[in-house]
Amino acid sequence: TVQVDVYCKVDDMVRFVARGCAAAASSSSSTSGKEEEKKDGNENVQKAVTDVSEVVHSVVSGMKPKLQDQCDALLEKSKAKIGQQPITATSIAICKAAASLGDVECFTHIRSLIKDDGKEPSFKMPKPMVQLIRGGAYGCNLEFAEVLVYPVSGKSFQAQLRLCARLHNELGNIIAAKFGEGFRAGCPSGGYSPPLADLSEALKLVNEAATAAGLDSWNEVCLAVNGGNWEGNGYVMKPKDKAKGLDEAIQFYVALMKDNPGLKALINPLNSLVDDAAAGEGWNKLAATLSEDEDLKANTYMLISESDGEEQIKTVAKVTAASVSLKLENSVTVTEAINLAVDMMESKLDVTVTTEGGEGTSDTFVADFAVGVGARFAKFGGLLGSQNVDKYNRLLQIEAALS
């Protein structure tokens, strides 16, 4: 994580105005990279300090924070020299500084960077999408990345988050009773990691928790499954299982949804829409199968692609019932992230703003960003750990400010 402080000249005095933090982009968080970071930690920390205090300082010193696009354009030119993290942290800090100097909320300033026509902007709160189970790590051997809950009712964000918290808490009780109190602590991304390898077993736990929480009618909350990042020519749904082809994978999801009426959203269910040129056909086939199945066609389902980028937006726009997520860590600057969000909305795609959860930072800028760009969902991890909870709490603060 890189932290950058911005100082501005105010009333002829230089004072601290804002702070921005940035974690490594997910694409760069490989095992070998982490080992190298641990090995050369001192050198890397000192380099980051030098990059910010010398390179970044020389680039943006004297610029006006309200000129976000100009500041970001200058910062982008230094990416090859110093990498992404210092630039992202600086860009976030500049955005916060402009909001502070303008005496407006950060989400309001972000909206003005998209559209500033002099009119009072209107805002809509995103719905929370909360991680329940984290797979593939921390003792949980699921081949799937996440099981999540999101609200379908609740007039306010506060009421919606309370519904998600009820299910999250009951799931913690059930997991602790079945596997021991140690598993109640969860993992850094805020979800639980029970020692399971079968997605059906994980969903069985969630269904038990829903019954205990009085949410098993599934008219207040729904579930989502995140397939993670499928690679290669097949889909391994359980460890040591034979890889499934496209048609088998689609039938797997159909059966999963029939067995779990609360499951209404699939995130990255098939190969990446960017990495696999033919993946769009598979996604469309999955959407058509869900809409045509006699037992499922009465329901509304979401397919969400989680790798953002301009090429992905064009591809997702061609997929039936698909929407897209925007991970702030994957954008170099605030301007780039805003432009991506605008492109998504102009392509009539629902936007889910997401972050690395516990593997990211405690900086709550992403919450303001989600409100500022008009995201439909905010996916900030589970409800364990301050690095996750702080972001949801910031959304509660924003809702209070708007009311």
pTM: 0.90
252-290: b (≥16 Cβ within 10 Å) or e: ebbebbeebbbbbbbbbbbbbbbebeebbebbbebbebb
Instruction: Answer with the residue of higher pLDDT: 391 or 29.
Output: 391
- State residue 358's pLDDT score: 56
Q: Which of 250, 268, 135 is nearest to 191 (CA)?
A: 135
Chain-centre distance for alpha carbon 80: 26
Q: Taking residues 267-294, what's their average pLDDT?
A: 79
Q: Kindly indicate the confidence band of residue 11, based on its pLDDT and cuts at 50, 70 and 90.
A: confident
Region of 241 please: left (phi>0), alpha (psi -120 to 50) or beta: beta
Query: Is residue 19 a contact partner of residue 361, using CB atoms and an 8 Å limit?
Result: no
Q: 2-10 and 13-22: which strand pairing?
A: antiparallel
Helices (H) and strands (E) in the chain, counts: 15, 11
Q: Is 311 helix (H, G, I), strand (E, B) or coil?
A: helix
Q: Is pLDDT at 116 greater than 80 in this prediction?
A: no
Whether the pLDDT of residue 235 is over 90: the answer is no
The token duo for 116 is 């500033």
Tell me the C-alpha distance between 257 and 106, whole Å.
40
Q: How many alpha carbons fall within 13 Å on the CB side of residue 350? A: 15
H or E, element range at 354: strand 351-354
- Predicted pLDDT of residue 102: 94
The mean per-residue pLDDT over the stretch 305-321 comes to 67
Q: For residue 223, what pLDDT is reported?
A: 97
Pick from 226, 178, 215: nearest CA to 379:
226
- Write the DSSP symbol of residue 294: T
Give tens-digit pLDDT for 149-168: 999 977 899 999 999 999 99
What is the model's pLDDT at position 296? Answer: 85
Q: Which of 131-140, 204-213, 353-362 has the lowest mean pLDDT?
A: 353-362
Average pLDDT, the chain: 87
